[in-house]
């Protein structure tokens, strides 16, 4: 990866992409991106991004059994002098040093370091890293012949895996590509990403439909960033933001002197996006008199700037709307021919209320983002608060969730945890208990029965484990399975843990 490409993608996006590769088991690609991040960053080894990148490299090298390189990744740090680091980074480094101690056969030191990491990370409710902490503690305790304690730690790892199960979906049925900027694991969003995978390298016009705040521009930019035009410009334009009398000039351009006030030539938004992707947001608000010109551009790849001859342009168009365009056509506010031209390749983004399983990973992402933006150091957000957020209906969708997390972070006391009491009153008052098992297929599309049943099976396993506090034997009895069958399915859906059935039973 060239320096210019690294600069364009951004160091933060490199780390997100590396994590996506790790989740898919593509450690070689993740390793390369993490090295690019470290080499191109101007930050010190003590910075958050570099610490996280090095800790991820340790995990990769351990998976690949390249232990000398794992030690080299931690070389800038000393496990006995980590007090100067922010709390979360200190926890990550202690986790990495504890894991290294295990591979160095220093099991007592491994347990000591990992216990210190647990004490730091548990109040932060950092599910992904707590899964690893408890798993690493379990294997070290197992080597010390503390079988009962080891089994209990494995169970807690499973429980944290349940709470943060979005972090374990590295490879999902029906999704062959990766869109690291999209934070989602729900069945309906897997369908969206599967459709995106098929469209990302095409030049076809795409129409993205969804309620306000669902992330339509993020879908559009992800199609661009993962597609063949990624090295060219992504140019968003809101069709409802420009003054009506200037909209034609802004879109198609004009020649100087064409009309009063045209003192300079203007290329227009479409020509400015040459070679790249033009994102036309709120396409349903486009003035009726401009729609024939847009239709000609979409069909012929040709525009006619004011005062100039027609000219060809090479631009991919992605449009978005929160309106019902069919209804707009019936009421005469949108041209039927333009509607059918746009309606060929459609991505419907579901509202957040129908995909509550996407809320916890979004909460985690926005919590960390807002803490960085507002320079806050908070201890985390409680599982109870996350539960309330997951059960709220979110009429403003992801944008409203983001704003709620920003408000909670700004008003929280420094060093404290965000609990349910910190949430907005309308959330606390409107939330009702939810059913533990949800099936919400999209009947407007062909149904993949196998995927739905896998999703139901996963939810049943997780609910059984929750009801019995991580006790595998009792959870298996609840579902009428043998312990061996339940353990096999649990490993398939949640974590690749050691075979707990081989350990001493003390239930």
pLDDT grade for 447, boundaries at 50, 70 and 90: low
Domain ranges of the chain: 3-168, 187-348, 352-430
| C-alpha–C-alpha distance, residues 290 and 252, integer Å | 10
Quick: pLDDT tens for 285-296: 999 988 999 999
Helix H segments across 74-225? 87-103, 107-121, 127-143, 147-163, 187-199, 216-225
Tell me the mean pLDDT in the region 130-155. Answer: 86
Indicate the class that CATH gives domain 3-168: mainly alpha
Burial class (CB in 10 A: 0-12, 13-18, 19+), 486: buried
Full DSSP string of 216-280: HHHHHHHHHHTSTTTTS-EEEEETTTS-HHHHHHHHH-B-TTSSTT--S-B--HHHHTTTSEEEE
- If you count them, how many residues does the chain have? 507
| C-alpha–C-alpha distance, residues 229 and 314, integer Å | 11
For residue 81 the two structure tokens come to 């002098």
Q: At what angle do helices 87-103 and 48-63 cross, to 10 degrees?
A: 20
Q: Has domain 187-348 been given CATH number 3.30.230.10?
A: no
Instruction: Output the pLDDT for position 5.
Output: 42
Instruction: Output the pLDDT for position 41.
Output: 67
Q: Is the dihedral of CA 76, 82, 86, 87 positive or negative?
A: positive
Tell me the mean pLDDT in the region 377-386. Answer: 82
Tell me the mean pLDDT in the region 320-349. Answer: 94
Q: Is the pLDDT of residue 261 over 80?
A: no
Quick: pLDDT tens for 53-68: 899 899 888 888 889 9
Helix or strand (DSSP H, E) at 302: strand 302-303
- Least-confidence region, from 74-88, 166-180, 187-201, 323-337: 166-180
Q: Is the pLDDT of residue 50 over 90?
A: no
Tell me the mean pLDDT in the region 480-505. Answer: 55
| C-alpha–C-alpha distance, residues 180 and 222, integer Å | 8
Contact status, residue 297 vs residue 253, Cβ threshold 8 Å: no
Name the architecture of domain 352-430.
Orthogonal Bundle (1.10)
What is the reported pTM?
0.56
| C-alpha–C-alpha distance, residues 310 and 51, integer Å | 54
Quick: pLDDT tens for 267-316: 788 889 999 999 999 999 999 988 999 999 999 988 877 767 788 999 99
Tell me the mean pLDDT in the region 75-96. Answer: 88
């Amino acid at each position: 990866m060239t320096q210019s490409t690294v600069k364009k993608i951004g160091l933060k996006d490199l780390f997100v992409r590396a994590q996506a590769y790790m989740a898919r088991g593509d450690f070689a690609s993740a390793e390369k991106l993490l090295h690019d991040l470290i080499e191109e960053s101007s930050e010190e080894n003590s910075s958050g991004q570099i610490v996280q990148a090095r800790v991820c490299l340790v995990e990769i090298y351990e998976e690949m059994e390249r232990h000398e390189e794992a030690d080299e990744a931690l070389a800038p740090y000393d496990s006995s002098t980590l007090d100067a680091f922010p709390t979360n980074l200190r926890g990550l480094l202690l986790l990495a040093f504890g894991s290294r101690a295990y591979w160095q056969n220093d099991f007592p030191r491994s347990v000591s370091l990992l216990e210190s990491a647990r004490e730091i990370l548990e109040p932060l409710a950092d599910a992904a890293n707590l899964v690893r902490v408890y798993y690493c503690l379990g294997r070290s305790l197992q080597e010390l012949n503390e079988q009962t304690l080891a089994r209990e730690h494995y169970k807690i790892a499973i429980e944290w895996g349940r709470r943060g199960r979005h972090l374990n979906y590295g490879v999902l049925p029906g999704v062959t590509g990766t869109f690291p900027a999209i934070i989602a694991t729900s069945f309906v969003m897997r369908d969206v990403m599967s459709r995106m995978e098929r469209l990302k390298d095409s030049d076809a016009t795409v129409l993205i439909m969804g309620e306000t705040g669902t992330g339509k521009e993020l879908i559009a930019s992800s199609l661009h960033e993962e597609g063949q035009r990624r090295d060219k410009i992504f140019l968003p334009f809101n069709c409802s933001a420009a003054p009506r009398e200037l909209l034609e000039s802004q879109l198609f351009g004009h020649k100087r002197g064409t009309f009063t006030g045209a003192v300079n030539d203007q290329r227009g938004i479409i020509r400015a996006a040459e070679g790249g992707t033009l994102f036309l947001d709120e396409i349903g608000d486009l003035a009726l008199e401009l729609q024939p010109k847009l239709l000609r551009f979409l069909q012929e790849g040709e525009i006619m700037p004011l005062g100039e001859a027609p000219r060809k342009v090479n631009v991919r168009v992605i449009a978005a709307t929160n309106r019902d365009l069919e209804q707009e056509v019936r009421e005469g506010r949108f041209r039927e021919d333009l509607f059918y031209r746009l309606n060929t390749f459609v991505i419907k983004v579901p509202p957040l209320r129908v995909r509550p399983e996407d809320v916890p990973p979004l909460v985690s992402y926005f919590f960390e983002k807002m803490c960085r933006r507002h320079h806050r150091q908070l201890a985390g957000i409680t599982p109870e608060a996350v539960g309330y957020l997951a059960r709220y209906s979110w009429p403003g969708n992801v944008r409203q969730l983001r704003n709620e997390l920003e408000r909670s972070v700004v008003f929280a006391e420094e060093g404290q945890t965000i609990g349910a009491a910190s949430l907005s009153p309308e959330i606390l008052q409107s939330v009702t208990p939810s059913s533990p098992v949800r099936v919400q297929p999209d009947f407007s599309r062909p149904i993949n029965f196998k995927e739905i049943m896998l999703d139901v099976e996963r939810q049943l396993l997780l609910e059984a484990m929750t009801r019995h506090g991580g006790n595998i034997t009792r959870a298996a009895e609840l579902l009428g399975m043998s312990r061996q069958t339940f353990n096999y399915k649990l490993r398939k859906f949640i974590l690749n843990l050691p075979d707990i059935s081989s350990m001493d039973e003390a239930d």
